[in-house]
Every structure is written in C-alpha cells, then in structure tokens.
Amino acid sequence: MIIVTGGAGFIGSNFIHRWLESQGESVLNIDCLTYAGNLENLTGIRTSVPGGPTYYFSRTDICDQAALDVLFAKYQPRAVVHFAAESHVDRSIIGPAEFIRTNVNGTFALLEAAKKYLRALASPEASKFRFLHVSTDEVFGSLGENDPAFSETSSYAPNSPYSASKAASDHLVRAYFHTYGLPTLTTNCSNNYGPYQFPEKLIPLVVSRALEGQSLPIYGDGRNIRDWLYVGDHCDAIIEVLEKGRVGETYNIGGLNERTNLEVVHQLCATLDELRPKQSGKYSDQIAFVKDRPGHDRRYAIDARKISEELGWKPVESFESGLRKTVGWYLENQGWVDHVRDGSYRDWINRNYSGDAA
C-alpha cells in the first residue's frame, strides 16, 4: 500500500480517486483536516472492495512525528506521496507562520519518519521504497515575457512566503536523498484546476461569483501568466514519476497551456455563457480589476520535456477541454460548493469522523 498526505485536499483527493481506480492498490490518507481538507471530496470511495484495494483514513498532523512513526509501523507502506501543504499565496501573505509550520516543519517530520521506517525495512522492500514530494513551479520565482520556461535546473527565487516555504521543503527532500540515501522524487507542477478545488482559487471563485451576479475580481492588469494543468493530468504524471522516475531526480509537470489571468476569466465566462446562460447580458460584463497583491509574480511557465522524454508523459487535456469539464463539475455539484462556502462541510467532518477508519 501507499501513504498519501493531504489526501482530503484538492489535488490529493483527486489523486486518491485516480489511484484507486487505476492502480488497485490500498491507500492510507493522512490529513489533519485544516480549512481546505474536506472529506466530502472522497465521498463515494468504497473503504473496502472484496479482492481489491482498501482505503484508510487517519486524522493526523504531519508535524507529529511520533504519530507518523506509529502509522508507518502499522501500515508498512511501499511509498509516500506527499501533498500536504498550505498552498494559497494570499493566505501566506496575511499569516505566514502556518505555512512555515506545515510546509517546512511538517515535511521535516515526515522525512524523519520515512527515514526511520526505511532503516528498519528488510531487503528487497527497502530498495523498492519511494518518497515522492509534490511541489510547485512558484519556487522558481517569476519569468519575463520572453524568458525560457522553468526547467528542473532553474535557480530557486521564491517571492512569497508560500513559495519560500515550498522551496525550503524541496531543499530538505533533496538533502535527505544526498545525506541519508532516502529514495526521494520531487515534482514541480504548474497551476492546477479541476474538481474539488477550494473556492478561494481563481477558477472556482470566478464560477461561484459569476453565478451569483457578483463582480469577477482580477488583480492588476490581468496580464499575469500561468501555465494551467488539469488535475487529472497531474495525477497521471505523479503516478508515472512514482513508478518509473529515477531516484533523487526532479520532474517538472506542466499543462502546456500558458494563459493570462484575463484570458482565463474570459474563457470561463464564455463557457458559462454556453452551459448556464444568463437571462440577459454576458458573464464577462461582471469583470472588475482590483489592486494587485504584493509580490505578484508576472509569469510562470514549465518546460516539461524531461518527464515527456524519460517517462513518456504528456497532458491529455487542452485548456478548453479541461476547463469545460471543470465548469461542468462545479455546475453539477453546487451542494459541495455551498457546504464549503458556508462552512457546513466542517460540521459534516465532525459528525462523520471518529478516529482512524477503514
């Protein structure tokens, strides 16, 4: 089986769905259920399938190494896929301490637990163990309009507390490979979008506000560029890296879809015009520009040639097809959106959670 940290979050929950459907191998999901951790993201997963994989959940803080030691010993994973992180730039500007705690201290505790566990493993299990750390392209800083895309050898230049905390965690993972021989893999991905994304992020935020007739806020001039990666494609890439990646290596994962924020919002509006038209006017009429946030990186772009050439992975979804799937999911799952926005998903967790569950 494998351990997934942060599996109740956006990318982690999508990964667990994908993993159980495609790999048929059991999963222990470790998540402490902070504001973005939502067990409703995993509704529909069968905890046990006769002759098939089993899904387990433990409400555990990854900063608690003693608790992690117990879980490693109990579940005996062959791999760890580490998603757990505070990830919203705006929140990191307002309150950076929690980002340092989770992203740096939490990764450190997890690495220590994995190192201790690996040392107790006998061959050949020890030789097969992997620790895959999921990171971001934001650790590389900002690109100019004509600069080449970030590669795996790009210099680190984080510009927000969030990206600085992720950069620190990347360096820790690298150090544990070189110093202790922990068999690590690191992935740096571009902007993800898709089902189950917390509605403070751009795409779900715009969908919700558009449907409510509110303004659609765009920072600055809207020309900040991101490379957009559909979450399903990202999950497939992680599986490829976990199974085929070279130990100690880093792989960039990009969607090959550079868009300005303004282009993204206009495309969202056009998709909503088609799937859920207004009684009058267009959704783009609601676009409003707001003051730019501090340290707002101008452009991110990913050079994904390494993962393509070494592992044969390429994204399946175009931006248009992925966005259509995403908007369709949010339109069909307004109950999920409402529970997140009014906080009742937290009540659901309190009602339904009762310790480790299989």
Site of tokens 């089993």: 54
C-beta neighbour count of 319 within 10 angstroms: 21
Closest CA to 167 of 185, 190, 141: 141
Q: DSSP E strands: which ranges in the chain?
A: 2-5, 27-30, 55-58, 79-82, 130-136, 184-189, 191-193, 216-219, 225-230, 250-253, 258-260, 287-290
**DSSP code at position 356:** S
Helix axes 334-342, 344-352, angle to 10 degrees: 90
Closest CA to 88 of 212, 247, 198: 198
C-beta neighbour count of 76 within 10 angstroms: 13
Annotated catalytic residues are 137-138, 162
Q: Which amino acid is at 29?
A: N
Closest CA to 202 of 332, 6, 347, 10: 10
SS3 content of the chain, % helix, strand, coil (to 5): 45, 15, 35
Q: Please check whether residue 28 is in contact with residue 81, taking contact to mean a CB–CB distance below 8 angstroms.
A: no
Element (H, E) at 326: helix 319-332
Beta bridge partners of 192: 229
Closest CA to 218 of 258, 263, 256, 257: 263
Q: Please check whether residue 63 is in contact with residue 101, taking contact to mean a CB–CB distance below 8 angstroms.
A: yes
Question: Any residues with CB less than 8 A from the CB of 83 and at least 6 apart, and which?
Answer: 4, 5, 6, 7, 9, 11, 12, 15, 134
C-beta neighbour count of 278 within 10 angstroms: 15
Closest CA to 134 of 20, 299, 15, 226: 15
Q: Give SS3 for 314.
A: coil
Beta bridge partners of 259: 226
